[in-house]
Amino acid sequence: MHRISVTVNGTTREGEVEARTLLVHWLRDSLGLAGTPIGCDTSNCGACTVLMDGRSVKSCSVLAVQADGSEVTTIQGLANGEWHPVQKAFKECHALQCGYCTPGMITAAVDLLGENPDPTEEEIRHGLEGNLCRCTGYHNIVKAVELAAGEMREAAK
Amino acid sequence: MIPAAFDYVRPGSLDEAVRALHEGGEDAKVLAGGQSLMPMLRMRLATPSLLVDCSRLGELRGVRDDGDAIVIGAGTPHHEVMHDALVRAHAPLIATVTATVADPAIRHRGTFGGSLAHADPAADLPTAALVLGAQFSIVGPGGRRTVAAADFFTDFFTTALAADEILESVRIPKLGDGWSFDYQKFNRTAQAWAIVGVAAAVRRSNGSIAEARVGLTNMGAGPLRASATEAALAGAGADGIAAAAEQAAQNTSPTSDLHAQADFRQHLARVLTRRAVTNAARF
Amino acid sequence: MTETTEAGTAQAGTARTPAIGSPVRRKEDDRLVTGQTTWTDNVALPGALHMGLVRSPIAHARITGIDTSAAKAMPGVVDVFTAADLGDDNVKIPCVWPVTDDIVMPDFHSLAVDKVRQVGDVVAVVLAQDKVTAEDAIENVVVDYDPLPAVVDMEAALADGSPILHEDKGTNQCYTMNFPCGDYEAAKAASDVVVSRRFINQRLIPVAMEPRAVACSPMGTSEEYTLWSATQVPHVLRVLLALSTGVPENQLRVIAPDVGGGFGSKLQMYREEALALVLARRLGRPVRWTETRSENMVATHHGRDQIQDVEIAATRDGTIKGLKVALTANMGAYLQIITPGIPLLGMFMYNGIYKMDAYDFSCTGVFTNTTPTDAYRGAGRPEATYAIERIVDELAAELGMDPIELRRKNWIAHEEFPYQTISGLTYDTGNYEAATEKALELFKYDELRAEQQRRRESNDLVQLGIGVSTFTEMCGLAPSRTLGALKYVAGGWENCTIRVLPLGKVELVTGTSPHGQGHVTSWSQIASDVLGVPVEDVEVIHGDTARSPYGMDTYGSRSLAVGGQAILRAGQKVVEKAKLIAAHQMEANPDDLEFVDGAFRVKGDPEKSTTIQAVAFEAFTAHNLPDGMEPTLSGESTVDPADFSFPHGTHLAAMEVDTETGKATLRSYVCVDDVGVVVNPLIVEGQVHGGIAQGVAQALYEGAVYDADGNLLTASMADYLLPTALDLPSFVTDRTVTPSTTHPLGTKGVGEAGTIASTPAIINGVVDALRPYGVNDVPMPASPEHVWRTLQAAKAGGAA
């Protein structure tokens, strides 16, 4: 067993983990942060995407022990008093249906906008290529990211 | 799915890592970004007894200028590589190809050296390394050695790395002025691996191609150079590219699998070679 | 909108903006965008045992031995069961649609008995204290198999000498069904042109983003169980589990919590659900299981997989005389809930929107060593629409006619509705002309045809193709008598109860079971208009047999079409009762009251009024109700639909095909759908977008592939190619509104429209691009290699 300490959604969390414990399983099963779902075994779907030290990662493809000392933000930690602009835009644009891909999709979009505040449609689609959605055809997801980008640029002025 | 149990160590230095790997025996494996390894662990296609986590070794990370070459630390994540100023200035093909690897989240964790050491025949970076004449710096219990890209990739998912050796860095010669590049990755969806990829590096002089290098992805057990095409391109003008590209699949023996039959791969290699060289030559 | 309707037929003369027709932002989303979700895997069950399923890696084999001792000896393993261990608890998975009298219905046990018949068949079940141990223990169950030859090809399975899956049945043929309408041979004899094609509607894997999951808990010491499942059909599931396991239905509560997509794949009683229940009963402890994606690919049912031999006969002027369709449908290794019926859901739809003199349908179901097929988005209707829309395009090419022109010549004109089709359905309304005109305009059809011509003339390496699909489908499954006539063992009604609580808030209890469709929002909108209350005052209760006891659940684009009627009727009952109370309170004649915006007013006396909320409080105190009236304010309705509804639309795709590499790219997509009255345009558009994406995916990307030994080669998301954001364009969607006359809200159903329409649109576009090369069909998915080989064969003169 390995002792780890990870700042998760702003709070330091400590635990004992087996080496093989995936970050997503630790988040879900040990910390009870079940908002981050698991959608595949092959790191294709991106449903489990979280921010690790500020960048998007697929939490099914990181060992919990590798996250030791890191800062992790999950969908449950994105709102800071009020919803993140991407969360608002997803609701506004009907960018989700079943919602299972949504935590990963939103997290990936937050990462994308952190790097590129004014992306083209093409750049948005590139930025989300690691996240699969089966309900929306991505149409409204792209619209939501465009809306959020505009809101965030406006707020930054 | 959950990996089978294994031990885990996170050494503080490259030397320690080599020692741990050596002591771990045949079933010990290096864990870098883990983006190729983790799915294999989860599917239990790989069941190592020990993982030696090198993902935090500063010695393996970063890009530096080394005179007539740049040196990319094996542990540098793809995302850093593709945005690195030295890479963009002196090995833009690496930046171009890296941008086609997987997706943003995977590029945040996955590393340059990890992709090369994994040696998937469908991987893009080995081809770029081959075309650019990269030299692989390898550290093992016996010290350092250097292996040329042409000798590094030995078979499907197999490299010149011994079980107790670690890829430290990759030296990529600066090709200098007059070279331009293109990479044609052909896949069915954005997430899919390359059915075929073609990397072209072209140096033009006086309105014709002075020198060309063409690398092929997924046309055999590892990356290949399209030697006949390269020879035919020397001295060729714009109108010589098509005929040269027709020879791109010579001496290749690609696999037939779910994603393509061998003859289609060979056809694609010819078409994509013409396109890659044409784009790179910028006539 | 080409035609407008009085949105909110529910309430006339309103001053407020009707909720129906408004793009209300979804109530569901607040939880979903913040991660406050209750997927089945998130349900906390302290002390639950984790099931691990030992699955066959071999497609066809005799089980000669199972050694569970090593697994049982592992710390944390509580027990391991084989079929022999389970005995009577090894329940059979039911099929409720015996489509013919002589259908072959083999046993399908939860745990395989003696033989395995598909990769992923389950031979043993491990129970462990945690899921890691369960996964480890699976590897320690040693199963000896005596492999048998496998058969995955349907025609091979029907041939003499084929390996037989169910030896006691002596045949791999499940059933044969004939459905002749009119005299096809006479129609053919009266025709000048006959075009025939063999289309392969390939096997698809539904891949809902949430894998399946089940958790079952005994409740205290009594013989009661609560079972959570990632299911589309909690009500149907309870009935089937009760029938199968003997747990009395009134002691079994089934809950579908947040469910992450289904597309038909969660319309089932799966073996894992049965095992969770019987093992919870056997051990007296909670039992749970969550599917991995790797399991999902082989263990959750697949869709499509039909060989379609299609022939169309017409006169030289383009008048369609007759259509003949012979299907061979892959059942897979076993029959699941409605496996044999899926092709028959398309049986009435092959004639599409066209008039003709005769139609001859036949279908043969076949067992193969593959995962069972069953409902997948559209279920039978995409197959039918694909066949008719493809063959009509081929007929147009044969006749040298524009595909739109040929369709115009044969479709049912809007003034001809209601129209009884050759297959016997009565289409109540439709306006194919209006939808098509609008689509052509948005698409810039003529400009694209001109560009296509230029590219053809310049021998452009990238050719442009225009794909047309004018579809209709039958929604609102279904009038119960019709289902009975088709031998389906259930009804097609839907139930709703609306309660106005003492303080005026509303509870709406529905029997539909959403898993992404946004029912909570749409149903609130309907209730809001009927009752005149704010949308946010309506709480929708669903997906729990204890809280919403009556329902037929969600599939087949039925929820609004049928469930919506029940909401309307239940709401009207509430208003009718409330009106009597209001009249009593105001000492007025009920006939003198009008109900506007949630208020009862005495006509001509605006001072005298009361609200429905106030009435609810009166109904609660019951101090002053009309004589004989029961207290409380609620209304319940169970509606059996009068008929199907028939959404339709025109979908147009511009396809660019790289003639060198064979890569087909969707450049633009326009659709104009007519789904009748729209309750929430945002949700309707979302359904269309997602539907199109799945239909495009069938056309271009997806396809389950088995090798000859029955191994699924596309067994992960790395090999089964789902389109990403980068593989699809934005879509142009628009609507016409021709209200359904069989459904009181005028709604029709939208869940499957995009999927049904888009697949033939895409393939018609690919074929259209390549027509000058002699190409007249492309196998799905139209992958680069398929297109390239087709083109090579055509250039060599070998095109079929």
Say yes or no for a CB contact (<8 Å) between B38 and A20: no
Interface test with C, best of B103, B191, B256, B265 (most C CBs within 10 A): B191
Provide the CATH number for the domain around residue C651.
3.30.365.10
How many other β-carbons are positioned within 10 Å of the β-carbon of residue C78?
18
Mapped onto helix, strand or coil, the DSSP state of residue A6 is strand
Q: Which residues constitute the domain of residue C312? A: 303-477+643-795
Q: Residue B1 is nearest to which of A41, A46, A63, comparing CB atoms?
A: A41
| Weakly modelled stretches of chain B, pLDDT under 70 | none
Contact assignment for B193 to C718 by CB distance below 8 Å = yes
Using a CB–CB cutoff of 8 Å, tell me whether C722 touches chain B. yes
Distance in angstroms (rounded) separating the CA atoms of residues C320 and C49: 61
Same-domain check for residues C96 and C241 = yes
Whether A37 sits inside 8 A of C34 (CB atoms) is no
Among candidate residues A49, A63, B41, B1, the one with its CA nearest the CA of residue C296: B1
Q: CB distance from C130 to chain B under 8 Å?
A: no
B39 touches chain A (CB under 8 A): yes
Minimal Cα distance from B109: which residue of A? A57
Nearest CA in chain B to C722: B189
**Helices A102-115 and A85-92: angle between axes, nearest 10 degrees:** 120
CB contact under 8 A, C34 and A126: no
The residues near A29 (Cβ < 8 Å, ≥ 6 apart) are none
Interchain CB distance below 8 Å, C726 and A36: no
Q: Which chains sit next to B, with 3 or more Cβ pairs under 8 A?
A: A, C
Q: Are A33 and A91 contained in the same domain?
A: no
Q: Is C447 exposed, middle or buried (0-12, 13-18, 19+ CB in 10 A)?
A: exposed
Please check whether residues A108 and A43 belong to one and the same domain. no
Peptide bond into C180 cis (omega under 30): no
Q: What is the CATH number of the domain that holds A147?
A: 1.10.150.120
Q: How many CB atoms lie within 10 A of CB C673?
A: 29
Do C162 and C148 touch, CB atoms closer than 8 A? no
Query: Pick from A53, A77, A101: which residue ends a domain?
Result: A77
Which of C611, C639, C667 is a domain's end point?
C639
User: What does the DSSP 8-state code read for residue C560?
Assistant: I
Same domain for A139 and A93: yes
Say how many CA atoms lie within 13 Å of C303 toward its Cβ. Answer: 26
Is the pTM for the entire model greater than 0.90?
yes
Kindly report the nearest CA distance between residue A77 and chain C, in angstroms. Answer: 8
The burial of C99, by beta-carbon neighbours within 10 Å (0-12 exposed, 13-18 middle, 19 or more buried), is given as: buried
Choose among B2, B35, B109: nearest Cβ to A20: B2
Tell whether C382 is covered by a domain.
Answer: yes
Candidates A39, A97, A101; nearest CB to C517: A97
A101, A125, A140 member nearest C209 (Cβ): A101
b/e map C212-231, b = 16+ CB within 10 Å = bbbbbbbeeeeeebbbbbbb
The DSSP string of C84-122 is HHHGGGSPBPP-----STT------BSS--SEE-STT-E
Cα–Cα dist A118/A113, whole Å = 7
Dist CA C352 CA C678 (whole Å): 23
Do A34 and A97 belong to one domain?
Answer: no
In order, the DSSP letters of chain B are --PPP-EEE--SSHHHHHHHHHHH-TTEEEESS-TTHHHHHHTTS---SEEEE-TT-GGG--EEE-SSEEEEETT-BHHHHHH-HHHHHH-HHHHHHHTTSS-HHHHHH-BHHHHHHHT-TT-SHHHHHHHTT-EEEEEETTEEEEEEHHHHEEETTEES--TT-EEEEEEEE---TTEEEEEEEE-SSTTSPPSEEEEEEEEEETTEEEEEEEEEESSSSS-EE-HHHHHHHTT--GGGHHHHHTTTTTT-----BTTB-HHHHHHHHHHHHHHHHHHHH--
Give yes or no: residues A8 and A55 share one domain.
Answer: yes
Same domain, C559 and C524: yes
* One domain, residues C462 and C550: no
Examine the domain organization and report whether C676 and C736 are in the same domain.
yes
Contact status, residue C125 vs residue C54, Cβ threshold 8 Å:
yes
Inter-chain touch C41–A74, beta carbons under 8 Å: no
Q: Which two tokens stand for residue C246?
A: 């003997």
Whether residue C763 sits in one domain with residue C693: yes
Tell me which residue of B162, B168, B159 sits closest to B137, measured CA to CA.
B168
**Is C767 found in the same domain as C659?**
yes
Q: Which of C33, C129, C292, C750 to mutate to test the interface with A (most CBs of A within 10 A)?
A: C33
Rounded Cα–Cα distance for residues A137 and C339 (Å): 27
Is there a single domain that holds both residue C722 and residue C620?
Answer: no
Contacts of residue C743, Cβ cutoff 8 Å, sequence gap at least 6:
C476, C561, C564, C565, C641, C642, C645, C676
Segment (H or E) for A142:
helix A139-156
Q: Are C223 and C310 found together in one domain?
A: no
Number of domains, chain A? 2
Q: C292 and C307: one domain?
A: no
C-beta atoms of A18 and C132 within 8 A: yes
Which of A77, A108, A133 finishes a domain?
A: A77
**CA distance, residue B171 to nearest chain A CA (Å):** 27
Report d(CA C422, CA B121) in Å as an integer: 55
* Interchain pair B105, A20: CB under 8 A: no
pLDDT of residue C221: 66
Percent of chain A with pLDDT over 70: 100
**Among C679, C696, C694, C715, CA closest to C760:** C696
Q: Specify whether A45 is located in the same domain as A89.
A: no
Q: Does B246 touch chain A (CB under 8 A)?
A: no
Domain termination residue (choose one: A26, A53, A77): A77
Structural domain count of chain C: 3
Minimum CA–CA partner of B3 in chain A: A20
Distance (Å) from the alpha carbon of B108 to chain A's nearest alpha carbon: 7
Q: Is residue C486 part of a domain?
A: no
| Chosen from B35, B45, B255, B258 to mutate, greatest number of chain C CBs within 10 A | B258
Q: Determine whether the interchain pair B189/C724 forms a contact, defined as Cβ–Cβ distance below 8 Å.
A: yes
Are A60 and A9 members of one domain? Answer: yes
Q: Per the domain annotation, does C157 fall within a domain?
A: no
Across the interface, whether the CB atoms of B103 and A62 are under 8 A apart is answered: no
Query: Smallest Cα–Cα separation from C371: which of C271, C242, C469?
Result: C271
Is residue A66 located within the same domain as residue A90? no
* Least CB–CB distance from A56: residue in B35, B38, B105: B105
Last residue of a domain, one of C299, C323, C358: C299
Beta carbons of C784 and B195 less than 8 Å apart: yes
* Best C39, C133, C209, C554 residue to mutate vs chain A (most A CBs within 10 Å): C209
B192 and chain A: CB distance < 8 Å anywhere? Answer: no
Q: Are residues A92 and A40 in the same domain?
A: no
Which residue in the set A42, A96, A142 is minimally distant from C716, CB to CB?
A42
Same domain, residue pair A72 and A90: no
Helix (H, G, I), strand (E, B) or coil at C614: helix
Q: Does C723 touch chain B (CB under 8 A)?
A: yes
Q: Are C319 and C409 in contact (CB under 8 A)?
A: yes
Q: What is the mean pLDDT of residues A62-77?
A: 98
Q: Is A60 on the interface with B (CB under 8 A)?
A: yes
Interface test with C, best of A33, A49, A97 (most C CBs within 10 A): A97
Task: Tell me whether residue C47 is in a domain.
Answer: yes
Distance, in angstroms, between A157 CA and closest chain C CA? 26
Chain B nearest CA to A95, separation (Å): 20
- State the smallest CA–CA distance between residue A119 and chain C in angstroms: 14
Separation in Å, CA of C132 to nearest CA in chain B: 7
Residue C483 maps to a domain: no
Contact A19 B41 (CB under 8 A): no
3-state secondary structure of C450: helix
Q: The dihedral of CA B61, B64, B66, B69: what is its sign?
A: positive
Higher-confidence residue: A108 or C222?
Answer: A108
Find the residue in A nearest to B33 (Cα): A62
CA atoms within 13 A on the CB side of C696: 34
- Residue range A110-136: mean pLDDT, rounded: 98
CATH number of the domain within which C47 lies: 3.90.1170.50
Whether A139 and C207 lie within 8 Å, measured CB to CB: no
* Same domain membership, residue A64 and residue A101: no
Classify residue B8 as left (phi > 0), alpha (psi -120 to 50) or beta.
beta
- Residue whose tokens read 């006691």: C168
Residue C726 and residue B186: Cβ atoms within 8 Å? no
Q: Which domain holds residue A40?
A: 2-77
What domains can be seen in chain B, in order of their start residue?
7-52 (3.30.43.10), 60-173 (3.30.465.10), 179-281 (3.30.390.50)
- For residues A141 and A133, is the Cβ–Cβ distance under 8 A? yes
Looking from the CA of B251 toward its CB, the CA atoms found within 13 Å total 8
Which residue in A has a C-alpha nearest to residue B105's C-alpha? A57
User: Domain ends where: C590, C616, C639?
Assistant: C639
C574 and C657 together in one domain: no
Note whether residue C201 is domain-resident.
Answer: no
In this structure, the answer to whether residues A6 and A73 fall within a common structural domain is yes
Do C714 and B264 lie within an 8 Å CB cutoff? Answer: no
Residue B74 CA to residue B115 CA, distance in Å, equals: 9
* pLDDT (average), residues A65-75: 98
Contact of C235 with C550, CB cutoff 8 Å: yes
Contact partners, residue C438, CB within 8 Å, separation at least 6: C2, C650, C672, C734, C736
Q: Could you tell me the CATH number of the domain that includes residue A10?
A: 3.10.20.30
Looking at beta carbons, which residues of chain A come within 8 Å of C260?
A: 37, 98-100
ipTM of the shown complex: 0.98
The low-confidence residues of chain C, meaning pLDDT below 50, are 1-12, 799-800
- Looking at the domain assignment, is residue C333 inside a domain? yes
> Is the CB of B34 less than 8 angstroms away from the CB of A60?
no
The rounded distance, in Å, linking the Cα atoms of C269 and C275 is: 11
pLDDT of amino acid C8: 39
Q: Do A62 and B109 touch (CB under 8 A)?
A: yes
Facing A46 at nearest CB: one of B5, B39, B105: B105
C313 and C293 part of one domain: no
- List chain B residues with CB under 8 Å of A42: 39, 42-43
Same domain? C313 vs C271 = no
Residue C197 lies in a domain: no
Question: How many angstroms separate the CA atoms of A59 and A46, rounded?
Answer: 9
Q: Which residue of C has its CA nearest to A123?
A: C726
Q: Give, in order, the Cα–Cα distances in Å from A71 to each of A53, A114, B227.
A: 5, 16, 49
pLDDT at C14: 59
